Amino acid sequence: MSVLDGVVVILDASAGVQAQTELVWDQSQKHSLPSIFFLNKMDKDTSSIEDSIQSITNRLGATPLLIQALHPDYFISSPNCSNPSFIDLINLETCQWASSSKIEASNSKVLPSEMSIINSISPSSLEEEMRLERSKVVEKLGDSINEEFHEDFVTAYFDGMEKGEESEGYFTSIPPSLLNATIQKACHRGEVSPTYLGSSLRGGIGVECLLDGICDFLPSPLERPNIKTFISPRRTKNKVEGGEKDEIKEQFVDISSLPSTNQSIDSHSSLLSQIFKVTYDRKRGQFVSFIRIFGGSLRSGDFIFNSTRQIKEKASQLCKIDGEDLISIKEAKIGDVVAIVGLKHSFTGDTLTFFNKGWKERF
């Protein structure tokens, strides 16, 4: 979990939060990871948005912010539905998918549906209803955020209330750009979790909107807060009755203070990465270490320093991960997830940084 910038929690809309969901959620919260919810399988007759939202609130203690609504004329679970549609409550647009009934004969898989954006909502009576739903999104966001960190939104929110926009069901003083920016900041701070609808196996309905939401609301590698890295335990001797006793103290430091990270975050010599998985490749006869790069860059053949164990290693081969295949590459940069072939003394959870003589001088 520590190698992630954010999480997408996918729920069965007919079942809501399940036991395994709670386990994964607890882990994500230990690392303070921003989150997005995706209510999948909306094509089921037993799916329920309200029950799913309630289970997220009650069982996970999260604040789901539903930013989509089902179009009543194109209800996704209807057998006669040819163009499933959702309403984007932020921009008040219609997201419509082509019929997902096309089947690929060779493997009997449903082909991805094509999404189109309609910059309006019809009929007009539905538009008024969706304005009310948008107002609920704005109100819930206003109730969930810390006003100190969202001054622009709070100012526009209270301006809208004074003008009576709340009673009209539409905060015209809060444009989509401000609403998006506020949701993004609130998501990063863990105050709300944007929530999307869809049916991924039915032609990928809703997936495009989810991917857009990941880009819009979850943090990029450059927006990740300062990371604390583990330095190998230091053994000290303490005097006790009858002699001395060894005591091991764990050391954590902020990466910005490390000798190898005093340059720009994308500099080659400011590498900071963490191993999250180690496997043995029988074909190569070597261990493969999967890493996430938090800062700087890494090149094939570089010498690197394992700050957890205070040892020097060599990245003999750097590979891009393509399913089960590893494709050799020359360089990986901040945000990349790659594999290193040939590390001999590094293990899961270890921190790797650019080799710098200053390490041993400092620690």
103 - beta bridge partners? 110
Taking the C-alpha atoms of residue 303 and residue 333, their distance in angstroms, rounded to an integer, is 16
Name the token pair of 278.
């180690």
- pLDDT attached to residue 64: 96
* Beta-strand pair 193-197/64-66: parallel
- pLDDT attached to residue 273: 87
Q: How far is CA 91 from CA 120, 202, 265, 332, in A?
A: 9, 25, 35, 37
Q: Where in the chain are the domains? A: 7-219, 257-362
Q: pLDDT tens digit string along 15-37?
A: 999 999 999 999 999 888 999 99
Contacts 24+ apart (CB under 8 A), 78-86: 84/113, 84/199, 84/202, 84/205, 86/197, 86/206, 86/209
- pLDDT attached to residue 248: 47
Name the token pair of 179.
């609403």
- pLDDT attached to residue 284: 81
Residue 343, SS3 per DSSP: coil
Name the token pair of 355.
């080799």
CATH number of 7-219: 3.40.50.300
In a 10 Å sphere around its CB, with 0-12 CB exposed, 13-18 middle and 19+ buried, how is residue 12 labelled?
A: middle
Taking the C-alpha atoms of residue 338 and residue 316, their distance in angstroms, rounded to an integer, is 13
- pLDDT attached to residue 270: 73
Check if CATH label 2.40.30.10 holds for domain 257-362. yes
Q: pLDDT tens digit string along 42-91?
A: 888 899 999 999 999 999 999 999 999 988 766 665 555 667 788 999 99
Residues 106-131 as b or e (16 or more Cβ within 10 Å = b): eeeebebbebeeeeebeeeebeebbb
- pLDDT attached to residue 355: 63
CB neighbours (10 Å) of residue 212? Answer: 13
- pLDDT attached to residue 110: 46
pLDDT < 70 positions in the chain: 73-82, 99-113, 164-170, 172, 224-269, 355-363
**Residue carrying the six token digits 């984007």:** 88
Taking the C-alpha atoms of residue 225 and residue 188, their distance in angstroms, rounded to an integer, is 10
Taking the C-alpha atoms of residue 166 and residue 188, their distance in angstroms, rounded to an integer, is 27
- pLDDT attached to residue 285: 85
- pLDDT attached to residue 80: 58
Report the phi/psi class of residue 320: left, alpha or beta, with left for phi > 0 and alpha for psi in -120 to 50.
beta
- pLDDT attached to residue 106: 40
Largest CA distance in the chain: 86
Report the phi/psi class of residue 335: left, alpha or beta, with left for phi > 0 and alpha for psi in -120 to 50.
left
Q: How far is CA 360 from CA 26, 215, 298, 325, 347, in A?
A: 37, 40, 21, 37, 20
Instruction: Give helix then strand counts, H and E, for the chain.
Output: 8, 22
Of 49, 109, 102, 41, nearest in space to 77 by CA:
41
